[in-house]
Amino acid sequence: MRSILGKAAVTLGAAAAVLGLAAGNAVADPGATPLTGDIVGVGSDTTEFVLNGLAAQYNSEHARPADWLASWDATGSGSITTKAGAPAPITRPNGSSAGINALIADGTAHNIDFARSSRFVGSNPAEANYRFLQFARDGLTYATATTSNVPTTRTTLQLNDIYSRSTPNCVPLVKPYIPQSGSGTRSFFLASIGLSEATLGNCAQVSQEHDPAVILNDPNAIAPFSVARGWGVTGLKLNKIDDSVRPAGLPANVTATDTPPNGAVSPITVYDRGLYNVVRNDDATQAKYSNVFGPSGWICTDSDAKAVITGQHFRLASALSCGRHTSAK
């Protein structure tokens, strides 16, 4: 069961952020070009709305001239000017790895201050220079249409088989979709089912992460889906993972249970993952950033911030993990 941990009286601003964003009515992007000193992020599709909500609440509690939070969505216009004074627009980063790569490419310019990520440190050696600060947790499962032919429970081994196949040996009556390259959901899902980019089969078609359009009205379609992002989406069914049957040599995944209103089985078991805000190593200890993202920072300690996170159906990071560079629960 999830609970919203709030102050005795949650501010009207927090309530509006929670209700509006939970209903999918988030305002895209910052709304105006952020100022030079603002704390600006890009990247993950999974956490774009919850960061919009956190930014709205944080900014309502910190009057100018404080440095405000600003978060650019994963999709929208093709290019963005991240903040005032940035030398040129950049291609909008779409996904965790795209956001992290944009942060790395920014060097020390601070036209980007953090990257949203739904995965922990990857294989790029440059990522060792960055801190992946956990702020929430999320369940990942496979989604289908409510009228699907696909069973409501699949083992990790069965998902491995579905996503490893190439034509002409695709699984009959199953049409797998996988998020775009650079998606943290893509890399986390593949690792969870024992695959990599090299072993992903071509039966899997690419779609925008968390876009239900490819699943709805297609009884054979499946795609990885965040429980929080799929929560209550009409026509979408969130299904149960059985991780007790895995490919040979694949260690047990970290799993969690959840009770989304559109799950066919309640409660459902899902792959459990941390969600992160990625900052430069040198920035992690600076008050400007640690006061927002750190273990004692606003996101980890403020009850209104926690209300925004749980209001969008993510789980809170534990006290031992929040604001820290760790993939642990």
Architecture of domain 138-272: 3-Layer(aba) Sandwich (3.40)
Report the alpha-carbon distance of residue 222 to residue 217 in Å, rounded. Answer: 11
Taking a C-beta distance cutoff of 8 angstroms, is the pair 97, 184 a contact? Answer: yes
Domains 12-136+275-316 and 138-272 share a fold: yes
Per-residue pLDDT in tens (0 to 9) along the chain, 329 residues: 333 233 333 333 333 333 333 333 345 799 899 999 999 999 999 999 999 999 999 999 999 999 999 999 999 999 999 999 999 999 999 999 999 999 999 999 999 999 999 999 999 999 999 999 999 999 999 999 999 999 999 999 999 999 999 999 999 999 999 999 999 999 999 999 999 999 999 999 999 999 999 999 899 999 999 999 999 999 999 999 999 999 999 999 999 999 999 887 789 999 999 999 999 999 999 999 999 999 999 999 999 999 999 999 999 999 999 999 999 99
Within 8 A by CB and 6+ apart from 138, the residues are 46, 118, 226, 227, 228, 272, 273, 274, 275, 314, 315
Every domain of the chain and the residues it spans: 12-136+275-316, 138-272
Within 8 A by CB and 6+ apart from 320, the residues are 328
Taking a C-beta distance cutoff of 8 angstroms, is the pair 130, 281 a contact? Answer: yes
Strands 153-155 and 130-145: unpaired
Distant-in-sequence contacts of 19-22, Cβ < 8 A, 24+ apart: 19/311, 20/53, 21/49, 21/50, 21/52, 21/53, 21/308, 21/311, 21/312, 22/311, 22/312, 22/313
CA distances from 220 to 172, 176, 181, 215 (A): 9, 8, 23, 8
What CATH topology corresponds to 12-136+275-316? D-Maltodextrin-Binding Protein; domain 2 (3.40.190)
Helix, coil or strand: residue 298: helix
